[in-house]
Amino acid sequence: AQSVTQPDIHITVSEGASLELRCNYSYGATPYLFWYVQSPGQGLQLLLKYFSGDTLVQGIKGFEAEFKRSQSSFNLRKPSVHWSDAAEYFCAVGVQGAQKLVFGQGTRLTINP
Amino acid sequence: GAGVSQSPSNKVTEKGKDVELRCDPISGHTALYWYRQSLGQGLEFLIYFQGNSAPDKSGLPSDRFSAERTGGSVSTLTIQRTQQEDSAVYLCASSLLRQETQYFGPGTRLLVL
């Protein structure tokens, strides 16, 4: 069965520091991979996606992610975080194409001033 | 342009009552999805509509849950005889085509007392 693991439930970083959020997936075919962000009381906003091609993908708000097939990973990175990045981040794999999204449990990001 | 909208934004109901949740997808999007976000289960797929095809109901947790999509646009998720474990945020998403990025609405927060 398809699954997504986000090992870190909660991460705290200082403003201006670099960030890496981990995501590992289990899926038998070529995955469609997504990162979404959710601010409190809000819906999910797409940060970036990987369908095929270049394994390093750029997203909105200065985020990027790298698909590593050998490690079944799709880690999210940002070189310098801002206080407004505090939110919950979800990694997802699209199964049956992108019909159904299977989500990880989420990583809550706190930013220290 | 307008995004996915959902109503009501919040709903409080008593155990045993029926509730209807509404989703208006982005205009022109042919695919529509419902997900549930709860503390214990994270984000779960519920149901998927694509054009005039039969919906994929594989994620519905019980026969108390049903959904319809009228005219290929607006969708209603109905929960009959609500239980306290139905308390969650119900998220709707739509996509232009079957294998495209899903865009999420703000969700309906349901509380069953």
Q: Quote the CA–CA distance of B66 and B80 in Å, as a whole number.
A: 8
CA distance B106 to chain A (A): 4
Instruction: Choose among B102, B105, B107: nearest Cβ to A98.
Output: B102
Q: Does the pLDDT of residue B110 top 90, yes or no?
A: yes
pLDDT of residue B100: 74
pLDDT, tens digit, 9 for 90 and up, residues B49-86: 988 888 889 999 999 999 999 887 999 999 999 999 99
Which of A101, A103, A105, A108 best tests the B interface by mutation, with the highest count of B CBs <10 A?
A101
The secondary structure of A61-107, three-state, reads HHCEEEEEHHHCEEEEEECCCCHHHCEEEEEEEEECCCCEEEECCCE
CA B6 to chain centre: 9
Higher-pLDDT residue of B1 and A66 is A66
Give residue A24's pLDDT. 96
Chain B residue with Cα closest to A107 = B42
In chain B, what residues touch A100 (CB-CB under 8 Å)? 33, 45, 48, 56, 59
Do A98 and B100 lie within an 8 Å CB cutoff?
yes
Residues of A whose CB is below 8 A from B97: none
The verdict on B38 touching A (C-beta cutoff 8 Å) is no
Q: If you count DSSP H runs as helices and E runs as strands, how many of each does chain B have, helices first?
A: 0, 10
What chain B residue is nearest to A94 in terms of C-alpha separation?
A: B99
Q: Name which of A87, A109, A77 is nearest A10 in CA terms.
A: A109
In this predicted structure, the answer to whether residue B42 has a pLDDT above a threshold of 90 is no
Question: What average pLDDT values come out for chain A (113 residues) when binned by 10 residues?
Answer: 92 97 89 92 91 92 95 96 96 78 95 92
Q: Which residues of chain A neighbour B105 with C-beta distances below 8 Å?
A: 43
Q: Higher model confidence: residue B50 or residue B111? A: B111
CB within 8 Å: A44 and B4: no
Task: Give A48's Cβ-side CA count (13 Å radius).
Answer: 21
Contact criterion met (CB < 8 Å) for A43 and B43: no
Q: Quote the mean pLDDT of chain B.
A: 92
* DSSP bridge pairs for B113: none
